[in-house]
Structure 1
Amino acid sequence: MKHGKTIWITGSSDGLGMLAARELVQAGHRVVLHARNPERARRAMQQVPGAVDVLVGDLTQPEEVKRLAEAANQIGRFDVVIHNAWVYRASSRDLFMVNVLAPYMLTSLMLKPERLIYLSSDMHWQGKAQLNLDPDRVSYADSKLYVLMLCLAVARLWPDVLANAVNPGWVPTKMGGAHAPDDLEKGHQTQVWLAVSNESEARVSGKYFFHQQPQPFHPEASNEKLQDHLLKQCQKLSGVVFPKNTPANREHYY
């Protein structure tokens, strides 16, 4: 490949993120990894030969997320960012922080890429958007509805970016468990396809995919008032403002 893309994948020290990173490296793209601590970062670089770098930061800590965004911007403008990091068995606050607020902060603070991919879940159908969002009362299903809402808001407010969400399925990763019924390979291939494919089916925005096919989603996710309310709540909780649509996206708010 003569002109590979530069791609950052959060949560790529294991699981689906690592599998996506390996495939993208093998296809000739410049991949930057992410891990929550130095030990996992060293292991990730060993597990993904050919990755160009790894950024370290704990997504449960807002100040570390801000530093991550700064480190990413020092590398330069990414072509693609895959917000793959997520937690399942965690406190409500960590569910919200990792699955929703960290993607919001990184999206807002980083130089705007060409493509953004967010990991949601079929469980988002069981989620409910709270008008008075309390991070200590967020379920996993809620968090996956919120990140889908974030994705759709980005697609609406930044028409020059291709922003899509993915349901990877219940796959046999460390989090999913050995007996998870869905296909592990297909679990990461939609992210890879959306990241680099020039097929017209992949060059869309504001969609929710499962196995490379757009799927219906919870009607609350496309409610623009709820989306705007979520952005305001995330701003209030993080102190980070979602930037207006500027091509360079060089205005960052802390």
Structure 2
Amino acid sequence: MSRCLVTGSSDGIGARIADDLDGLGHDVVRHARDEAKAARLRAAGAGEVVVGDLASLASTRAMAAALRAGRPFDVVVHNAGWLPPEGPRPVTADGLERTFQVNALSAYLLTALLPLPSRLVYVSSDSIVRGRIDVDDLQHEAAWSADRAYADSKLAMTAIAFAAARRYPAVRANAVHPGWVRTKMSGDAAPLDVAAGADTPVWLSTSDEPATGLFFHDRRVVRLNEQAYDPAVQDALVERCAALTGVALPPA
């Protein structure tokens, strides 16, 4: 039985990933953004729940500290994400653009702070086809739009996954596009249900698939944006994330 952490698992795809892993007999820790969501999970019999607001560096660090007090994880699924509405550029209390902080920087910080598992699964998006990593403007201070911020943040998350795969060859670190799934984020027009969206992340968490440093959709390898595979881009991004969080990735 593996011990698994699934971020962003109070509803949507993350909840289904957690439920499926639990149904397969794994020890699953669910994550909620706040105590109200955590209370609803516990009332529904979810078991162990950790609370952490990934739009806050302090809250993410506190969450990691709480998790380090327990048994190390075999699998970490970085599923949490945020789709910004159109409007003013959203900035967190840390002074960071919210989309980048929630979708990419929090995954980096948890990767840096938690003991390395045997598997890392980063739930990305096919929106990365139109994304671009500009390490000098990761937070879109020059120009911001919701679509660009989301695509770029998911591309950054994917590059972080591949950087982890390069740095830690003993860890299976992969990214995945779950498909266009009916959730609060995507809306009712999406063609897939959460079971379909959870399928490949759960498969990557549990199968004998030996691959690492790859992007999957429907259990198949796809390549959607070559920038994510560039070691120079990965290294520059990781260096910038370390500067923004004050935390470096652990040595290999």
TM-score (norm 1): 0.90
Q: Residue 100 of structure 1 contacts residue 147 of structure 1 at CA under 8 Å; is this kept in 2?
A: yes
2: CA distance, partners of 1:46 / 1:192? 24
Which residue does 2:201 correspond to in 1? 191
Change beyond 3 A, Cα 1:151–1:134 = closer
In structure 2, what residue type is equivalent to 1:205?
T
2:155 counterpart of 1:155:
no
Residues 232-243 of structure 1 correspond to what in structure 2 (within 5 A)? 232-243=239-250
Q: Residue 14 of structure 1 contacts residue 44 of structure 1 at CA under 8 Å; is this kept in 2?
A: no
Q: How many angstroms does 1:9 deviate by?
A: 0.4
Which residue does 2:75 correspond to in 1? 80
Which residue does 1:252 correspond to in 2? none
Q: Deviations over 1:49-83 (max 9, x none)?
A: 3x431010100000111111111111121000000
2:67 counterpart of 1:67:
no
2:10 counterpart of 1:13:
yes
2:84 counterpart of 1:89:
yes
Change beyond 3 A, Cα 1:27–1:70 = same
2: CA distance, partners of 1:74 / 1:217? 38
2: CA distance, partners of 1:129 / 1:136? 10
2: CA distance, partners of 1:80 / 1:161? 10
Q: Residue 133 of structure 1 contacts residue 233 of structure 1 at CA under 8 Å; is this kept in 2?
A: no
2:38 counterpart of 1:41:
yes
Change beyond 3 A, Cα 1:134–1:219 = closer
Q: How many angstroms does 1:23 deviate by?
A: 1.1
Higher mean C-alpha displacement, 102-111 vs 137-146: 137-146
Which residue does 1:127 correspond to in 2? 131
1: CA distance, partners of 2:181 / 2:108? 25
Which residue does 1:206 correspond to in 2? 213
Q: How many angstroms does 1:46 deviate by?
A: 3.5
1: CA distance, partners of 2:197 / 2:156? 21
3-state DSSP of counterpart to 1:108:
helix
1: CA distance, partners of 2:6 / 2:135? 31
Q: How many angstroms does 1:103 deviate by?
A: 0.4
1: CA distance, partners of 2:135 / 2:106? 20
- The count of aligned residue pairs is 237
Identity of aligned pairs, percent? 39
Which residue does 1:178 correspond to in 2? 188
Q: Residue 16 of structure 2 contacts residue 194 of structure 2 at CA under 8 Å; is this kept in 1?
A: no
TM-score (norm 2): 0.90
2: CA distance, partners of 1:89 / 1:46? 29
Which residue does 1:219 correspond to in 2? 226
Q: Residue 80 of structure 1 contacts residue 195 of structure 1 at CA under 8 Å; is this kept in 2?
A: yes
Q: How many angstroms does 1:183 deviate by?
A: 4.4
Q: Residue 32 of structure 2 contacts residue 50 of structure 2 at CA under 8 Å; is this kept in 1?
A: yes
Match of 1:98 among 91, 102, 113: 102
In structure 1, what residue type is equivalent to 2:153?
S
Q: How many angstroms does 1:217 deviate by?
A: 2.3
Match of 1:53 among 41, 48, 52: 48
Q: Deviations over 1:15-46 (max 9, x none)?
A: 00101111111111100010011110011233
Q: Deviations over 1:201-244 (max 9, x none)?
A: x2210110111111112111111001000001101111111111
Q: How many angstroms does 1:136 deviate by?
A: 4.4
2:122 counterpart of 1:118:
yes
Q: How many angstroms does 1:135 deviate by?
A: 1.9
Q: CA RMSD in A?
A: 1.4
